[in-house]
Protein backbone atom coordinates (compact mmCIF):
# COMPACT_ATOMS: atom_id res chain seq x y z
CA UNK A 1 0.00 0.00 0.00
CA UNK A 2 1.30 3.44 -0.89
CA UNK A 3 1.13 6.51 1.30
CA UNK A 4 -2.36 7.50 2.37
CA UNK A 5 -3.69 10.50 4.25
CA UNK A 6 -6.94 9.61 5.96
CA UNK A 7 -9.16 11.96 7.96
CA UNK A 8 -11.68 10.30 10.25
CA UNK A 9 -14.18 12.73 11.73
CA UNK A 10 -17.51 12.60 13.50
CA UNK A 11 -19.16 13.45 16.77
CA UNK A 12 -18.09 12.40 20.25
CA UNK A 13 -18.34 8.64 20.80
CA UNK A 14 -19.12 8.05 17.13
CA UNK A 15 -16.47 5.31 16.81
CA UNK A 16 -13.70 7.40 15.23
CA UNK A 17 -10.81 6.07 17.30
CA UNK A 18 -11.97 2.46 17.12
CA UNK A 19 -12.34 2.66 13.34
CA UNK A 20 -8.92 4.33 13.01
CA UNK A 21 -7.24 1.63 15.12
CA UNK A 22 -8.98 -1.20 13.26
CA UNK A 23 -8.02 0.29 9.90
CA UNK A 24 -4.38 0.75 10.93
CA UNK A 25 -4.19 -2.76 12.40
CA UNK A 26 -5.52 -4.28 9.15
CA UNK A 27 -3.26 -2.34 6.79
CA UNK A 28 0.01 -1.58 8.57
CA UNK A 29 2.59 -3.38 10.69
CA UNK A 30 4.90 -0.59 11.98
CA UNK A 31 2.53 1.82 13.72
CA UNK A 32 2.85 4.94 15.85
CA UNK A 33 0.01 6.34 17.94
CA UNK A 34 0.47 10.09 18.47
CA UNK A 35 -1.79 11.10 21.36
CA UNK A 36 -2.55 14.78 21.97
CA UNK A 37 -4.66 14.45 25.11
CA UNK A 38 -3.45 15.67 28.48
CA UNK A 39 -4.71 14.09 31.70
CA UNK A 40 -5.79 17.29 33.41
CA UNK A 41 -8.33 15.54 35.65
CA UNK A 42 -9.20 12.04 36.86
CA UNK A 43 -11.95 11.45 34.30
CA UNK A 44 -9.62 12.34 31.42
CA UNK A 45 -6.92 10.10 32.88
CA UNK A 46 -9.44 7.23 32.80
CA UNK A 47 -10.29 7.99 29.16
CA UNK A 48 -6.58 7.90 28.28
CA UNK A 49 -6.19 4.53 30.01
CA UNK A 50 -9.19 3.18 28.08
CA UNK A 51 -7.60 4.29 24.80
CA UNK A 52 -4.30 2.66 25.77
CA UNK A 53 -6.06 -0.64 26.44
CA UNK A 54 -7.62 -0.51 22.96
CA UNK A 55 -4.16 -0.65 21.36
CA UNK A 56 -2.25 -3.88 20.94
CA UNK A 57 1.37 -4.12 22.17
CA UNK A 58 2.94 -3.59 18.72
CA UNK A 59 1.84 0.05 18.79
CA UNK A 60 4.51 2.59 19.66
CA UNK A 61 2.89 5.50 21.55
CA UNK A 62 4.04 9.09 21.83
CA UNK A 63 2.09 11.53 23.99
CA UNK A 64 2.49 15.11 22.79
CA UNK A 65 -0.08 17.85 23.39
CA UNK A 66 1.48 20.61 21.24
CA UNK A 67 4.57 19.74 19.15
CA UNK A 68 2.93 17.16 16.87
CA UNK A 69 4.63 18.46 13.72
CA UNK A 70 8.02 17.85 15.32
CA UNK A 71 6.99 14.33 16.35
CA UNK A 72 5.77 13.50 12.84
CA UNK A 73 9.04 14.86 11.44
CA UNK A 74 11.09 12.86 13.96
CA UNK A 75 9.28 9.51 13.84
CA UNK A 76 7.63 9.57 10.43
CA UNK A 77 10.38 7.71 8.61
CA UNK A 78 10.53 4.93 11.22
CA UNK A 79 6.94 3.68 10.81
CA UNK A 80 4.45 2.88 8.08
CA UNK A 81 1.62 4.86 9.65
CA UNK A 82 1.07 7.51 12.28
CA UNK A 83 -2.35 7.62 13.86
CA UNK A 84 -2.86 11.13 15.25
CA UNK A 85 -5.64 11.18 17.85
CA UNK A 86 -6.93 13.82 18.01
CA UNK A 87 -6.78 17.05 16.07
CA UNK A 88 -9.46 18.82 18.13
CA UNK A 89 -7.68 18.06 21.42
CA UNK A 90 -4.47 19.40 19.86
CA UNK A 91 -6.38 22.53 18.84
CA UNK A 92 -7.78 22.88 22.36
CA UNK A 93 -4.23 22.63 23.73
CA UNK A 94 -3.08 25.31 21.29
CA UNK A 95 -5.96 27.61 22.26
CA UNK A 96 -4.85 27.48 25.88
CA UNK A 97 -1.27 28.39 24.96
CA UNK A 98 -1.59 30.70 21.95
CA UNK A 99 -3.50 33.98 22.16
CA UNK A 100 -3.44 34.87 18.49
CA UNK A 101 -5.32 32.84 15.88
CA UNK A 102 -2.62 33.63 13.32
CA UNK A 103 -0.16 31.63 15.48
CA UNK A 104 -2.59 28.71 15.49
CA UNK A 105 -3.10 28.95 11.73
CA UNK A 106 0.70 28.80 11.28
CA UNK A 107 0.73 25.56 13.34
CA UNK A 108 -2.09 24.18 11.20
CA UNK A 109 -0.25 25.09 7.99
CA UNK A 110 2.91 23.43 9.32
CA UNK A 111 0.90 20.27 10.04
CA UNK A 112 -0.61 20.24 6.53
CA UNK A 113 2.84 20.75 4.99
CA UNK A 114 4.32 17.95 7.09
CA UNK A 115 1.61 15.39 6.31
CA UNK A 116 2.02 16.12 2.60
CA UNK A 117 5.83 16.02 2.80
CA UNK A 118 6.28 12.76 4.74
CA UNK A 119 6.10 9.45 2.88
CA UNK A 120 4.46 7.87 5.91
CA UNK A 121 0.73 7.25 5.87
CA UNK A 122 -1.23 9.32 8.36
CA UNK A 123 -4.61 8.68 9.93
CA UNK A 124 -5.91 11.83 11.57
CA UNK A 125 -8.86 11.70 13.97
CA UNK A 126 -10.87 14.87 14.54
CA UNK A 127 -14.21 15.79 16.04
CA UNK A 128 -16.89 17.45 13.96
CA UNK A 129 -18.12 20.17 16.29
CA UNK A 130 -20.05 22.36 13.84
CA UNK A 131 -23.32 20.43 13.74
CA UNK A 132 -24.83 21.88 16.92
CA UNK A 133 -25.98 25.27 18.06
CA UNK A 134 -23.82 28.37 17.95
CA UNK A 135 -21.86 28.40 21.21
CA UNK A 136 -22.73 31.12 23.71
CA UNK A 137 -19.21 32.30 24.56
CA UNK A 138 -16.37 33.69 22.42
CA UNK A 139 -13.79 30.99 23.28
CA UNK A 140 -16.20 28.20 22.31
CA UNK A 141 -17.09 29.95 19.04
CA UNK A 142 -13.38 30.44 18.33
CA UNK A 143 -12.75 26.73 18.97
CA UNK A 144 -15.67 25.71 16.74
CA UNK A 145 -14.55 28.00 13.93
CA UNK A 146 -10.90 26.92 14.07
CA UNK A 147 -11.97 23.24 14.24
CA UNK A 148 -14.00 23.68 11.08
CA UNK A 149 -11.10 25.39 9.32
CA UNK A 150 -8.54 22.75 10.27
CA UNK A 151 -10.89 19.90 9.31
CA UNK A 152 -11.43 21.53 5.91
CA UNK A 153 -7.70 21.96 5.34
CA UNK A 154 -6.94 18.36 6.29
CA UNK A 155 -9.88 17.05 4.23
CA UNK A 156 -8.57 18.90 1.20
CA UNK A 157 -5.13 17.26 1.61
CA UNK A 158 -6.55 13.81 2.43
CA UNK A 159 -6.95 10.86 0.10
CA UNK A 160 -9.89 9.60 2.17
CA UNK A 161 -12.32 11.40 4.45
CA UNK A 162 -14.58 9.25 6.60
CA UNK A 163 -17.45 10.60 8.68
CA UNK A 164 -18.41 8.31 11.55
CA UNK A 165 -22.04 8.11 12.68
CA UNK A 166 -23.06 5.65 15.40
CA UNK A 167 -20.04 3.47 14.66
CA UNK A 168 -20.76 3.37 10.93
CA UNK A 169 -18.25 4.84 8.47
CA UNK A 170 -19.61 7.10 5.74
CA UNK A 171 -17.08 7.78 3.00
CA UNK A 172 -17.09 11.43 1.98
CA UNK A 173 -13.92 11.30 -0.14
CA UNK A 174 -12.14 8.26 -1.52
CA UNK A 175 -12.91 4.64 -0.75
CA UNK A 176 -10.66 1.80 0.28
CA UNK A 177 -11.62 -1.30 -1.70
CA UNK A 178 -10.35 -3.51 1.13
CA UNK A 179 -13.14 -2.20 3.38
CA UNK A 180 -15.91 -3.45 1.10
Mean local confidence (pLDDT), 66-72:
96
Residue from 27, 51, 55, 71 carrying the catalytic annotation: 51
Give pLDDT, residue 172. Answer: 96
Radius of gyration of the chain (CA): 15
Using one digit for the tens of pLDDT, what is the confidence trace for 40-63?
778 877 877 777 777 788 899 999
Mean local confidence (pLDDT), 65-76:
95
More confident residue, 44 or 2: 2
Give the domains, in start order, of the chain with CATH numbers.
5-179 (3.40.50.300)
Can 50 be counted among the known catalytic residues?
A: no
Report the chain's mean pLDDT, rounded to a whole number.
91
pLDDT at 180 over 90: no
User: What 3-state DSSP class applies to 55?
Assistant: coil
How far is 48 from 142, CA to CA, in rounded Å? Answer: 26
The pTM is what?
0.92
Using one digit for the tens of pLDDT, what is the confidence trace for 84-119?
999 999 999 999 999 899 999 999 999 999 999 999
Residues 6+ apart with CB under 8 A from 68: 34, 36, 84, 90, 111
Q: Are 66 and 115 contacting, i.e. CB atoms less than 8 angstroms apart?
A: no
Using one digit for the tens of pLDDT, what is the confidence trace for 136-177?
999 999 999 999 999 999 999 999 999 999 999 999 999 765
pLDDT at 178 over 60: no
pLDDT at 17 over 50: yes
| H helices present in 60-167, as ranges | 68-75, 87-97, 101-117, 138-157
Amino acid sequence: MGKKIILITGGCRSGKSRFALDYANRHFSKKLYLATCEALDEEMAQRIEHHKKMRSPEWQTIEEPIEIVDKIRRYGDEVEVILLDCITLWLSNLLMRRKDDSEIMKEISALIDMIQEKQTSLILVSNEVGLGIVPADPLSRRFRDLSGMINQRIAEAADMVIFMVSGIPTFLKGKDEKLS
